[in-house]
Structures are given as structure tokens and as C-alpha cells.
Amino acid sequence: MANSFSLPTINDNPDGGWGPSSSNLPAQFKFKDIPYAPYSKSDKLGRFADWNDISGDNRPTNAGLASAQGNRGGGPGGRGRRDGQPAFGSGTASAFAYFHAEDESSFSLVDNKANTTRRGGPLSRGRSTGRGGANAGRGGAQRGGRGGFGGGRGGAQRGGRRGWRDWDKNNRARESSVAISPDWSMLEEIEFHRLAKLRLEVDDPEDLESYGRVFPYEKSYDRINTKTEKPLQLVDRIKYNTTTSDDPVIQELAAKDTATVYTTDVILSVLMCAPRSVYPWDIVIVREGNRLFFDKRDGGPFDTVTVNENAADPPQDPTTVNPNNPNEKIVVPETPSINSATSLSLEATYINQNFGFQAVIETPPPPSVDFAKPNPFYGPDETEPLASCGYRYRVFDLGLTEDEDIKICVRTEVDAYSPGQGNPRLGQGLVTIRALNEFDPRAQGAGGAPDWRTKLDPQRGAVVATEMKNNSCKLAKWTVQSVLAGADLMKVGYISRANPRDNTRHVILSTTSTRPTDFAAQLNVSLANGWGIVRTVTDLCMKQPEGKYVLVKDPNKPVIRLYSVPLTAFTVEEEDEDAAFDAEEHESTPGA
């Protein structure tokens, strides 16, 4: 006979919830009075069992653990009720951890290590002060172990012990290139990672007009090495860097509606290489009808050359007064450092100008080449000699379809021509000349660059790779400018100080020649991405009404912002400067 089957007893929950009832537990449920302590397998257990139960008022039964646990547990009382359920693995399972309740006075440790003494006080140059030093944190004023002017990674700041919440202070905070007025309204904000995804293929440009005169490049500079260095000379020449709206040729072309956007290669290269930029910059955009003019401010970031902008530890300027704490004492050096960011930028600008003036042949043969029209900025009253410079006005089509008529007119510049490479008037054999400068390989902000005098000839690849890393944005802008101008060659000089402590005398150590398109591939510069950025900014501005706008790169974040500004913006300062200049002339005039 088969065994009979009977259904098991089901204990319903009278409370109406899921699972066993907490108020009506069956008798067969054993261990019902044992509390459950949440735990995690990753928790380290300090004892086998918990003999220190926590009562309902959160008082440990063992007085010796009161100071160790206190109200820190997630128990049923105290902060446990206020803070809610504790996180998994952090509740009463902490009772299984080890707590040092009582100290045994009969046991002691003897320290037999010798105490280390500091030599030289807070300005020591030992290992502890390298890259900021352990004595004053990452913003100390020590002279770092690498020979930097400002201590460590924070520049020339106050030494001593770091203050409370100094960890969330940005020691590298930079100021904006232009003061953001409260009456400006922000229209758009675009992050760099979004700009890097833009693409626009652009065909070859159309040449409109050419102005100026170019001299032949001196090929003997290609044979210079570290053993036959040549001093950099001070050449007095005039070279114009006029903004877009003040260009008389662009004004004539705009009157004929030649294009939609008008700009220069210097301004356009900054916009096309925006995702690489670290330092702040700004572009003034004026919309008149269906025309856009991209301008620069006089004395702005477009008039100087940066140094080691993309380095992990770029050059720093002396610390300024914190506006949030004006009473803070700042250690200001008696004389400005020649290795500060501002000083190096001015030095690099001086080097680039003079190297371009020096590396050409002004006395034939070979002869100079005049373009179709003379220099448009050189007036009849000027007597100083002009530098070798040719201006080519070119139009690029930014339309997405054949029916879309969006063109950009760009004033491009070339510095010389290479003899025997074709007719420069037809755009053949044109050359752009630039210069990289070395200041002090042991100084703060050098970016780990090797010594050019010992490494440039045997290990040129290492020097070039370091410069491509530390000056990625600058080299990319130079390459884009050369491509926009249609130059066949780009000459890059390597110029160093004659003495690392003297920023007034320099020597030319070497010169390299490269094709801009090949160099763009080495730098991973995407012209299609640059044109996509230009088209995006153009579309944003064309959606706005007529007026003046400013495109600003955030000084501390990879973001660009578009502001709407009054029409009188940036003109009041110029009027004040002109009035002050007229007043000085009036005071200096005899009999006034």
C-alpha cells in the first residue's frame, strides 16, 4: 500500500506582509531572539563572537568600548535613528572589528631610529623640497629639487603648513583673458569633447588677391648645428598684425559680399585648434547684416606666443593677491622672474619676430618677389623698412551642399620663398618661418625637456617629441596657419639662451624644414575637425541678431562660451587710451 501524502502546514503572515511574521513566530523557529547583524565578506573580523551587545539606548555593556564605538554605530538609538538604515556591511557588524580599549602600561616600544634634521630651513634644496616639497605641500615657496623658481607645483606661494581645506583650492587658477562684465549674457556653452567630434571636409580655396613682398630664405640656416651656432640678431623691421575689421582689403571684399565670414589666419587657427588650448583666449565677433567679422583685441593673447602651454607643469606667474582674502600676505620677489609665464611669452614673441627677419636674404641675389599689390598697411609717410611678408586673401567654402552659400575669407601670411621651387606669385615655394625657444631645462616649467646643446644633434627625435608634447597647441596653430596660407615648407628654428640666466641674448642651434601637411599628420591635427568647429561657431552666431559677441575660452576648464555684449564693449578702453595719449602730448608741448 502506498504512503499517503499530506500537505505541509503553511503559516500565513497575519500582518499582511511578505515573509514570516515578526509578531507571530511559530514555535519551531529556533534562535528567534538572536539579532541579525549585516556583514560583508570583505569585512575583517577582529574576534570570534560579539560579547559587547548594544542596548536600545545605544550604550555598550562594556564601558571600555564606549570611547571606541560611542554613537558611531548604526544601532537602534542615537544617530542610528536620525541617519536611517546603515550601509551594507557597516552596521553592527563593526562590533566584530578590533578595538583597542585599554592600553597596557606594562608594555612599551623603544624608538631607536635617529631623528632626521632639516638643513637650510624652509628654503632647503634637499630631496624633501623636490616638486613642491614635503614641508610646505604642493604650493610651497621653496626652490624645488629640479631648480625651479617657484616651489613645486604651486608656483611662488607662501610656505609653511597647509591650511584647512587647502586641498580643494585650485593652485593653478588662471584669470580670464577678458573681464566678464555682469551685463553680458551667455548664449552658448560648448565643452571641448563635443568640439572634438565635429567634422567638415573643405575643398581647396580660391585665391582672390595677394599683397606685399617676400625675400628668399637663407638656406645656410639649414646647416647650422650645436657646434656652429649663430647668434640671434636684433633686426629692426616693421610687420603688421592688423585685426580683421581694420584691414582695408577685407573692407573692400566685404563691400562686394565676397564671403559670409571674414577673419585672419592667426584668429582662425586658434579657433580650429581650440580643443588643444589650455590658456584663456577670446575672439570678438561682430555681425553686420549677413556678414560676420572675427576680430582680436589689441594687446590680447593673439599678439604673443605661448611657451610650454601643454606641459604637465607649465610655467607659472608670481602669485597675486587672493580677492577672497586681500589681507593674506604674499611673498613677492624683488625682481620679476625671467622664467615666469609672462616673461617667457614676451621672450618667445621677440625670438619669433627676429628669427623671421634674420633668416631671409634682403640683398640680391636672389631677388625679392613683389606680389600683385604692395603692402596695404604701409603708408606713404612710413620710412622704416618693411619685413619680408606676403598677404594672400583666400576664400574657403563651408557649405554642406552645393546650394548652400557659406564662405569664409581669410587673410593668410607667408614669410619668405624658397629659391628654385617655382614662381612665388603663383603660390609656389612659399615658406613660413617659426621658432621654438629653450630657456632653462632645469627651471620650473621646462616640461622635462632635454638640454638642446647636448641632445639636439644626436637625439633630435627626443627633442622634437618633447616639444610636440609641451607645445602641442602652439605647433598645431603654426601648422594650420601654414596650410591656410598654402605654404610648401615650414621652417622651425631651435633657439636657446646664450646663458640660462640671461633672457636678452640668444643663439640659433638648428633649423628644421618640414611640409605643413606632413607635420599636421605627425601632430594628429585634423583640419576637418577644425573646419567643423568654425562652421558650428558660424551657425551659432548667424542665429543671433545683429550685434557684437565674444567667444571666450574658460581659463580653467575645457569650455568655450559665447556672450552677447554691448556694441560699445572694448571701444571705451581704446578711447581712454587715446585721450590719455593726447593729454600727455599736450603736456609735453612747449607753451601749452
Other CB atoms closer than 10 Å to residue 491's CB: what's the count? 26
Q: What is the pLDDT of residue 112?
A: 56
In whole angstroms, give the CA distance from residue 404 to residue 398: 8
- pLDDT, average across residues 540-549: 95
Question: Against a cut of 0.75, is the pTM above it?
Answer: no
Domain ranges of the chain: 185-308+337-565
**In three state form, how does the secondary structure of 439-469 look?**
CCCCCCCCCCCCCHHHHCCCCHHHHHHHHHH
276 or 144: which leads in pLDDT: 276
Q: What is the pLDDT of residue 194?
A: 95
Sign of CA dihedral 372, 435, 486, 247: negative
In whole numbers, what is the pLDDT of the chain averaged over residues?
A: 79
Cell 620663398 belongs to 417
Q: What is the pLDDT of residue 273?
A: 96
529 or 337: which leads in pLDDT: 529
Amino acid identity, position 44:
K
Q: Helix or strand or coil: residue 385?
A: coil
pLDDT digits (tens, 9 = 90+) for 136-191: 333 333 333 333 333 333 333 333 344 444 444 345 688 899 989 899 999 999 99
Q: What is the pLDDT of residue 24?
A: 66
- pLDDT-based confidence at 84, cuts 50/70/90? very low
In angstroms, the Cα distances linking 338 to 153, 177, 226, 283, 335 are 18, 21, 24, 29, 9
Work out the angle at residue 335's Cα, subtended by the Cα atoms of residues 334 and 339, and round it to the nearest 5 degrees: 130
Pairing state between β 369-370 and 559-565 = unpaired
What DSSP line would sit under 296-364, residue for residue?
A: --TTSGGGS--SSTTSSS---PPPPPPTT-TTS-----SS--TTSHHHHHHHHHHHHHHHHHHTB--SS
Q: Helix or strand or coil: residue 198?
A: coil
pLDDT at residue 74 above 70? no
- pLDDT, average across residues 538-560: 95
92 or 560: which leads in pLDDT: 560
Pairing state between β 502-514 and 489-499 = antiparallel
In whole angstroms, give the CA distance from residue 587 to residue 590: 8
* Residue 195: partners with Cβ closer than 8 Å, 6 or more residues away: 274, 275, 529, 532, 533, 536, 560
User: Residue 483: in which H helix or E strand, if any?
Assistant: helix 472-485
Q: Helix or strand or coil: residue 137?
A: helix
Q: Are 445 and 453 in contact (CB under 8 A)?
A: no
- pLDDT-based confidence at 90, cuts 50/70/90? very low
State the distance between the two ends of the chain, measured CA to CA, in whole angstroms: 137
- pLDDT, average across residues 6-23: 72
Work out the angle at residue 17's Cα, subtended by the Cα atoms of residues 11 and 23, and round it to the nearest 5 degrees: 60
Q: Are 284 and 433 in contact (CB under 8 A)?
A: no
Amino acid identity, position 382:
E
Least confident interval from 75-84, 188-197, 292-301: 75-84
In whole angstroms, give the CA distance from residue 211 to residue 249: 10
- Half-sphere exposure at residue 577, Cβ-oriented, CA atoms within 13 angstroms: 7
Cell 557649405 belongs to 399
Q: What is the pLDDT of residue 52?
A: 60
User: Residue 177: in which H helix or E strand, if any?
Assistant: none
- pLDDT-based confidence at 12, cuts 50/70/90? confident
Q: What is the pLDDT of residue 571?
A: 79
209 phi and psi angles, rounded to 5 deg: -145, 160
- pLDDT, average across residues 397-426: 93
In whole angstroms, give the CA distance from residue 317 to residue 332: 11
- Half-sphere exposure at residue 421, Cβ-oriented, CA atoms within 13 angstroms: 17
Q: What is the pLDDT of residue 87?
A: 47
In whole angstroms, give the CA distance from residue 284 to residue 571: 12
In whole angstroms, give the CA distance from residue 442 to residue 448: 8
In whole angstroms, give the CA distance from residue 377 to residue 353: 18
Q: Are 215 and 378 in contact (CB under 8 A)?
A: no
What's the length of the chain?
Answer: 592
**In three state form, how does the secondary structure of 520-583 look?**
HHHHCCCHHHHHHHHHHHHHHHHCCCCEEEEEEECCCCCEEEEEEECCCCCCHHHHHHHHHHHH
- pLDDT, average across residues 96-107: 52
Least confident interval from 439-443, 497-501, 586-590: 586-590
In whole angstroms, give the CA distance from residue 208 to residue 253: 9
